[in-house]
Structure 1
């Protein structure tokens, strides 16, 4: 399994609505074996609003990591964002991180990590963090601006060839809370 396949799988897992007591039987019991167990740092630092889904994400990842052949470490400690610590990980996963999640030195370490081939996974409110970091903004693609109340929306597939959208219909309706982000690379949009 490549790190890209792993990232996409984790994205699909964490964007599913689950609660601590709900089942995730729709997901595979295991992932294909790889030569090395990918090691992922899951970062859940928040400064301001904290999503109540964070504990559920941690619980699911902790419970299933052996079945999926993954190794997760969890932290909210922004002082760990240094070159020595980050180089131990195959991927960094930000789950609903908000606010200024690391300082200037952390930003430099984050940039060096990515430039050295590190992988980044931003889940849900990861777009609500580090508004003052051009490096993070370039990595995440777009930052959260606002959202309206839950409403039915028409979703349009804008890029048909990307692996994340290849199996989606060209258009569908869904009851959802839409998020408005600064315009980045768009794969899917809602009317």
Structure 2
């Protein structure tokens, strides 16, 4: 009986000595837009949910586009008669009427947008370890924009994908946080991304030069000395002029961590099974690498994976 008691006691002590498994981090994923809306957003939502489930290291909640978004009229193109052709002028007048009606409909819809974004209020954000903007665009009506940035700077994670830099153009503090502002892009093109940090969680799976076919952004208000470069180009994506054209980076914001990648316009970048208009331009193996790239960036931003954020000061 004494030996049985000692054995039970030993097992109890051993069990209490084992470290408790860490609870998964919580990530709030935002795919809301007030500007251009990318067709790849549903694919990205599916992939991110899959990455969270498979990794087991974080869970995701989504803030998605509210129903009922008004559709705007398409601007008519001039025919053979040119801009001054009476038929085209009549079509323009009809378009202008439709545009004004669309603006009024959007104004009526915006309260639904504000309601959808209430989860980004400071009190609710206390439930989360990070926020992810996936191809967000426009001036999103957040409950408290300065409070949102303070929350990140207080030690939280921010992950931005593709058009996240095409968000809050009139909010310099957001641009400073994310590290750059979308300027323009040319036609989709195949580029050789240079891996600037093969040791970082977001790029350790990538080769020294990684070829991707996608829509490649150029930026303004980007300072190389303020970010830790992860992927870059050594020439313009379209006209091939030599230079420094950043693609992905990491940085600190206060005690928070920021990861951004401009890749992710196309479905076949996100998903190895997705056709792009019936035809893929990227091999399914590339999509798997892109998913690992995004997952590594998420885990790093959440403090779950290694990686430097020290600015290199140069493109290489």
- TM-score, with length taken from structure 1: 0.70
Q: Does residue 162 of structure 2 align to residue 95 of structure 1? A: no
Instruction: Give the match's secondary structure for 1:114.
Output: helix
* Structure 2 CA distance for partners of 1:155 and 1:115, relative to 1, 3 Å: closer
Task: Give 1:152 deviation, angstroms.
Answer: 3.4
Q: 2:191 aligns with which of 153, 157, 174?
A: 153
Cα shift readout 1:40-73 (whole Å, capped 9, x = no counterpart): 1111110121111111222233345433222211
Q: In the TM superposition, what are the counterparts of 1:35-114 in structure 2 within 5 Å? A: 35-63=22-50, 65-69=52-56, 70-76=58-64, 77-103=116-142, 105-114=143-152
Q: 2:156 aligns with which of 103, 106, 118?
A: 118
Runs of 4+ that moved beyond 6 A: none
C-alpha distance in 1 between matches for 2:47 and 2:189: 28
Cα shift readout 1:163-187 (whole Å, capped 9, x = no counterpart): 5445655545544432101223344
- TM-score, with length taken from structure 2: 0.44
Cα shift readout 1:8-61 (whole Å, capped 9, x = no counterpart): xxxxxxxxxxxxxxxxxxxxxxxxx95011111111110121111111222233
In the other structure, the counterpart of 1:138 is 176
C-alpha distance in 2 between matches for 1:133 and 1:79: 19
Instruction: Give the match's secondary structure for 2:216.
Output: coil
- CA RMSD after TM alignment: 2.6
Structure 1 unaligned regions, length at least 5: 1-32
Does 53-62 or 113-122 show the bigger shift? 53-62
Instruction: Give the match's secondary structure for 1:89.
Output: coil
- Structure 1 or 2: more helix by fraction: 2
Paired residue total: 158
Task: Give 1:97 deviation, angstroms.
Answer: 0.7
Does 33-42 or 163-172 show the bigger shift? 163-172
Instruction: Give the match's secondary structure for 2:127.
Output: coil
Structure showing greater Rg: 2
Structure 2 unaligned regions, length at least 5: 1-19, 65-115, 236-316
